[in-house]
Every structure is written in C-alpha cells, then in structure tokens.
Amino acid sequence: MTDTLVVVNCGQLVTLAGPRRPRVGAEMRELAIVEGGAMLVRDGLVEKVGRLEEVEPLLGADCEVFDAGGRVVAPGFVDAHAHPVFAGQRADEFEKRAAGVSYQEIAAAGGGIRSTVRRTRAADEEELFEVARRREAWFLRTGTTTVEAKSGYGLSVEDELKMLRVVRRLNSEGRIKYVPTFLGAHEVPDEYRGRREEYVALVVEEMLPRVASEGLAEFCDVFCEERVFTVEDSRRVLEAARAHGLSLRVHADQLTRGGGALLAAELRAKTADHLEHTDAASIAALKAAGVQPVLLPGSVYALGSARYPAARAMIDEGLAVVLATDFNPGSSPTPSMTMVLSLASTHLKMTPAEGLTAATVNAAYSLNRGDELGTLERGKRADFVAHDCEDYRELAYFFGVEHAHAVFVGGRLAFAR
C-alpha cells in the first residue's frame, strides 16, 4: 500500500529545479517556476512535478488530493543557522538595549549568552524539550521545515550533551526536521572566566569526544570573536572536530573583523556565518575555498545595527549565499524566514528570487542535505508550503505577514491555517 498525494491548482509551483549543486551568480535568480503546476508525492518523496496534464495520468484512485487554490507552492524553508533550544528569554536585556546599552556591554557585565546558559543549565531535558516544541510551532507556521539546531547554552559536558539529546528527540518526535550542531565554544562560562584556554581544552578533550562517540552532532561551530574565542582557539576546536568526523561552521566577523572568515577559508569549513565585517579579501578567500556564506540580517536588525553583510559583493564573486534566521534569545529573536527575506531585499539588496534560493536549495547544501531537500524535484523529500499569495515575490514584499497557508513535511500535513 503506497501513500500517494497529489497537489493540484498551484498558482506558481516554484520548483527550484536545476543543477545538483548550490546555485551561484545568475543561477540564484532562476526558480524554475511551473505556472498552474501540479505535483505527485509518493511515500513522502516528490515523484513528478509538471503541468496537471503531465501528472494526471499517474494518479491512482486512492490518491489523496491537496488543492492549493491558486496559491504559490514552494519548498519549505531550510533555516541553516539557529539556536532553538534554550530556557527562558531575555526581554530585560532587550529593554536595556532599547535604552541604548549595547549587546557587548550587556555580555561584558555577565548577561547575554551567559544569562541564557544559567537558565538552560537549571532546566532538565524534559523542560527544554517542551519549550523547544512550543517554538517549533513558530517555525512551522512561517513555512520552515528544516532547522539547524546548535548547542552552546550548556557549556559543560553534561549540559551540552543534554541540549543535543533534546535536539535528537525533537528530530524524532517533532513535526519538522533538525540538523544538530555542537557549539561548545559559544562563550566562556562563568566558572572559567579568566581561564579561557582551560575551557577550550575542556571542549576539545572532553566534550567533542563524547558528542562524537554518541553521534549527537553533524557539525561543529565556534563563536570566533574579539573577547570570546580567538582565531587560535577556534582553529584548535575546529581541527579537533574535523578529526572526529564533524563538518565545520564558524560564527565569523559578526561584531568585529576578527579573522573568522579567513579561518573558515583556511579550514575549508562548510560555512562562514554572519560576515557583517568581512572585507573583499576575505570574500575572495571564501570563494577560493568553496565556503558558503550564511547571512543573518535578522541579527543586524534586532541589534539595531546598520552594518549588514555585503551580500551583493558575495553574489557577484560567485559565492553560494545562504540566508538564515539565527533564531536565539539575544541577537535575533525571530523564527521567521519570510522576515529574513524581507530584510534580504531591503537591506542586502538581494532580489526576492535570490532570497528564496538562499533560503532553500543553497541552505540545504550548506547542511549537507542538498540531495534530499531544498527543491521540488523527483526523489527529494516532499517538504513544501502553500503560501497565501499569487506571486512568490510577495513573500519578501509583504512583511510581517505569515504567508504560510499549509505546510507539508515528508508529504504529510504538519500545519494548516
């Protein structure tokens, strides 16, 4: 007994069909839209995409039908940089920042990431799972079907493992899919203040071997930043992670140009993320090393900064740009990829088509899932969204609107408005 679904009456079926690799340059503007398209899904995978008359002959009598009602149907968003597991919130700091105190000043005074670490350590696995499940609904209702999930609010062996076990459980019991990233080097915890190198040794010698032996992460990330982890610390962590078989991501050049992007290039990391302060020479190095930039305009916006990354220069250089939310309780408290698309067009000067490519297929490749996700092509997982609009550009244009009308993960309805 097979499980068959046919999607009919799509106004625009945005397939993003194309080369089986991340899209660069002008390719980022090619969405392979089928006007009035239909799609056949069998056993959770896309089987056929085309005009209704091409799909119809394949239909059996027992096939379930989803009528898109003339709406835009597109791949689910792949959010390739997020911190969705944490306890508490930081509305107090948000209010202070509104009064002019900076993110770095708050961090230096013991707040910021360290305040979320205190809350997260105090929560058990069950509580963390429950809060993350509530936030999962926020991602889903904006059309996101895959989320990268970083640890980094535990910062002790047991608390980092706890966070990653929550991610594993979310992935098996949740309605969306998660990709786990170990971020033990997110901040120096309170008990290691002034002993940063000892903390780096803990990450390398104790955390990483446990994370790897329990198969709890696919990626390792580091916050390479002035007053957090130096380039040398970051190199040490990332080289050890690679030796354990993890792929690499780097929080690079976010608040200062600290050399994180050059390190990502040197290590041929999968991604270099943020890049607000990255210069032309570093962009060229990322290109030469095949590193994908992950741009996070939500964090620039929410920090009240005007320093957005140089997306146009990166696209012109031929980099396979990715967009993500950076969802976290401090610098970027939004789960909304459509908000990110709006910011990408207004501040990064990316076209709506470039934005959509960066938020789907390019993001999937950056998570080593380009063969499974990110486009609507035969053999891909049927993660798709019917957006309540008639033109895909409305996703970036009408902002503050939750466009997602119905969200499917693996061919199953996960959210309907």
Note the residues at the interface with Fe ion (CB under 5 A). Answer: 326
What are φ and ψ of residue 12, in 5° steps? -115, 125
CB of residue 377 to ligand NIG, shortest distance in Å: 31
Site for ligand NIG, rule CB under 6 A:
83, 112-113, 116, 223, 251, 254, 299, 326, 328-332
Residue found under tokens 């979310």: 170
CA distance 336 to 140: 9
- Beta bridge pairs of residue 271: 249, 292
What gap in Å lies between CA 395 and CA 143, rounded to an integer?
Answer: 11
Q: Are 77 and 362 in contact (CB under 8 A)?
A: no
Q: Is 391 left (phi over 0), alpha (psi -120 to 50) or beta?
A: beta
Q: What is the smallest separation between the CB atom of 251 and Fe ion, expressed in angstroms?
A: 6
Q: Say which entry of Fe ion, ligand NIG, none residue 175 contacts (CB below 5 to 8 A, set by partner kind).
A: none
Closer to Fe ion by Cβ: residue 4 or 234: 234
Say what the alpha-carbon torsion angle 15, 21, 26, 29 is, to the nearest 10 degrees.
20
3-state secondary structure 371-401: CCCCCCCCCCECCEEEECCCCCCHHHHCCCC
- Range 285-296 burial, b when 16+ CB lie within 10 A, else e: bbbebebbbbbb
Between residues 317 and 326, which has the closer beta carbon with respect to Fe ion?
326
33 or 250, CB closer to Fe ion? 250
Distance CA 229, CA 224 (A): 5
DSSP class of 60 = -
**Partner from Fe ion, ligand NIG, none contacting 112, C-beta within 5 to 8 A by type:** ligand NIG
The least distance separating Fe ion from the CB of residue 282, rounded to whole angstroms, comes to 18
Q: Which residue is nearest to Fe ion (CB)?
A: 326
Q: Which does 329 bind (CB under 5 to 8 A by kind): Fe ion, ligand NIG, none?
A: ligand NIG
Q: Choose the one of Fe ion, ligand NIG, none that binds residue 121, judging by a C-beta under 5 to 8 angstroms depending on kind.
A: none
Look-up of token digits 């780097």: 250
Q: How far is the CB of 223 from ligand NIG (least distance, A)?
A: 5
DSSP codes of every residue in 226-249:
TTSB-HHHHHHHHHHHHHTT-EEE
**Distance (Å, whole) CA 238 – CA 185:** 10
Query: Residue 223 belongs to what H/E stretch?
Result: none
Contact of 407 with 145, CB cutoff 8 Å? yes
- Would you say 112 or 355 has its CB closer to ligand NIG? 112
The item of Fe ion, ligand NIG, none sharing an interface with residue 331, based on CB under 5 to 8 Å by kind, is: ligand NIG
Measured from the CB atom, the residue of 23 and 150 that comes closer to Fe ion is 150
Least distance CB 133 / ligand NIG (angstroms): 20
The total of other beta-carbon atoms located within 10 Å of residue 281's CB is 9
User: Nearer Cβ to ligand NIG, position 270 or 405?
Assistant: 270
Residue 254 contact, options ligand NIG, Fe ion, none, Cβ 5-8 Å cut-off depending on partner type:
ligand NIG
The helix-helix angle for 337-346 and 352-359 (nearest 10°) equals: 140
CA-CA distance, 215 to 168, in Å (whole number)? 10
116 makes contact, choosing from ligand NIG, Fe ion, none, with CB < 5 to 8 Å by partner type, with ligand NIG
Shortest distance, position 254 Cβ to ligand NIG, whole Å: 5
> What residue 120 binds from ligand NIG, Fe ion, none (CB within 5 to 8 A, per partner kind)?
none
Residue nearest to ligand NIG (CB): 330
Least separation in angstroms between CB 262 and ligand NIG: 18
Provide, rounded to whole angstroms, the least separation between the CB of residue 310 and Fe ion: 19
Name the residue nearer to ligand NIG (CB basis): 224 or 386: 224
Compute the least distance from the CB of residue 20 to ligand NIG, in Å: 30
Q: Which does 76 bind (CB under 5 to 8 A by kind): Fe ion, ligand NIG, none?
A: none
Query: Based on CB atoms, which residue is closest to ligand NIG, 37 or 293?
Result: 293
